[in-house]
């Protein structure tokens, strides 16, 4: 099979048109675009990457514009629709929890420190930036999320004692199952290997309650694995 030597298409950060492959220009398609862009940058505009999943086209963002960068109307509309759906879900979650389900940057970082930046269920080393988020395009098993040990949908409270770091794979695979239900399911997308390990050894962070059969966080300090 012939080796693929084609360089990825580059797009002008100003007009979003493809830059011809033979061009030596990296950021802009023409000297005209480069010139206009220089003027905009001097007035506070900045080059960002389109936020739509899988799109890596550059965008000239307006001064003070944050987050909703899109390379074209179609991607902008998709971002807006997704943001609106997320807001509806968030409102429903807030209503269920009785408090806004949010974390400050300090809280996100404090939760990450509980496990020294690993998923509390599968031990995956999470990618966590200084702002406490993983960033666009992070693979699910590296993506840092905060999980409620007892899910809000099952009566759990939105408070620090109920938070652990989890990767997107575990959080998404678990959904609203209680921990013992998740473990019993056995066929979920991802198994909480650390919980299984602790239950088998009888020591560690996670333990089964002899009476109810439910799984609890028995030893917070043991969340940091050695
Ligand atoms: Zn251009
Ligand atoms: Zn785009
Ligand atoms: Zn995990």
Show pLDDT as tens, one digit a residue, over the chain (226 residues). 444 556 678 899 898 889 988 888 888 999 999 999 999 999 999 988 898 888 888 998 888 877 778 988 999 999 999 999 999 999 998 988 888 999 999 999 999 999 999 999 999 999 999 889 998 789 999 999 999 999 998 999 999 999 999 999 999 999 899 999 999 987 656 789 999 999 999 999 999 999 999 999 999 999 999 8
Cα 9 to ligand 2 centre (Å): 13
- The whole-number pLDDT of residue 31 equals 93
Cα 138 to ligand 1 centre (Å): 29
Cα 21 to ligand 2 centre (Å): 20
- The whole-number pLDDT of residue 7 equals 64
Distance CA 152, CA 20 (A): 52
Q: Minimum-distance ligand to the CA of 78? A: 2
Cα 46 to ligand 1 centre (Å): 15
What 208-216 contacts at long range (C-beta under 8 Å, 24+ apart), as own/partner pairs, is 208/180, 213/180, 214/178, 214/179, 214/180, 215/178, 215/179, 215/180, 215/183, 216/149, 216/179
- The whole-number pLDDT of residue 1 equals 45
Of the candidates 164, 146, 177, 176, the residue with the CA atom closest to the CA atom of residue 220 = 164
Q: What is the dihedral of CA 178, 182, 188, 189, to 10 degrees?
A: 60
Listed by start position, the domains of the chain span 10-61, 98-223
Q: Minimum-distance ligand to the CA of 23? A: 1
Cα 80 to ligand 2 centre (Å): 13
- The whole-number pLDDT of residue 36 equals 95
| DSSP label at residue 143 | B
Cα 111 to ligand 3 centre (Å): 14
- The whole-number pLDDT of residue 186 equals 74
Distance CA 157, CA 31 (A): 57
Specify whether the CB–CB gap between 13 and 28 falls below 8 A: yes
Ligand 1 (ion): residues with CB under 5 Å are: 12, 14-15, 29, 33
Could you tell me the pTM of the whole model?
A: 0.73
- The whole-number pLDDT of residue 6 equals 61
In 138-202, alpha helices (H): 168-174, 179-185, 193-201
- The whole-number pLDDT of residue 54 equals 84
- The whole-number pLDDT of residue 4 equals 52
């Amino acid at each position: 099979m012939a080796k693929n030597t084609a360089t990825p298409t580059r797009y002008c950060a100003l007009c979003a048109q493809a830059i011809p492959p033979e061009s030596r220009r990296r950021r802009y398609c023409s000297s005209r675009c480069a010139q206009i862009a220089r003027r905009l940058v001097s007035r506070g505009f900045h080059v960002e990457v389109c936020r739509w999943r899988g799109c890596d086209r550059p965008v000239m963002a307006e001064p003070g514009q944050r987050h909703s960068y899109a390379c074209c109307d179609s991607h902008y509309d998709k971002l807006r629709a997704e943001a609106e759906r997320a807001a509806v879900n968030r409102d429903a979650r807030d209503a269920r929890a009785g408090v806004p389900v949010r974390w400050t940057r300090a809280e996100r970082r404090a939760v990450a420190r509980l496990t020294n930046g690993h998923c509390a269920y599968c031990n995956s080393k999470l990618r966590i930036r200084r702002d406490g988020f993983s960033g666009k395009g992070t693979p699910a098993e590296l993506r840092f999320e905060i999980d409620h040990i007892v899910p809000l949908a099952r009566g759990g409270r939105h408070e620090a004692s109920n938070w652990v770091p989890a990767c997107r794979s575990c959080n998404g695979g678990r959904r609203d199952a209680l921990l013992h239900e998740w473990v019993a399911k056995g066929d979920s997308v991802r198994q909480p290997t650390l919980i299984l390990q602790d239950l088998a050894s009888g020591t560690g962070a996670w333990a089964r309650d002899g009476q109810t059969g439910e799984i609890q966080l028995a030893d917070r300090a043991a969340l940091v694995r050695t």
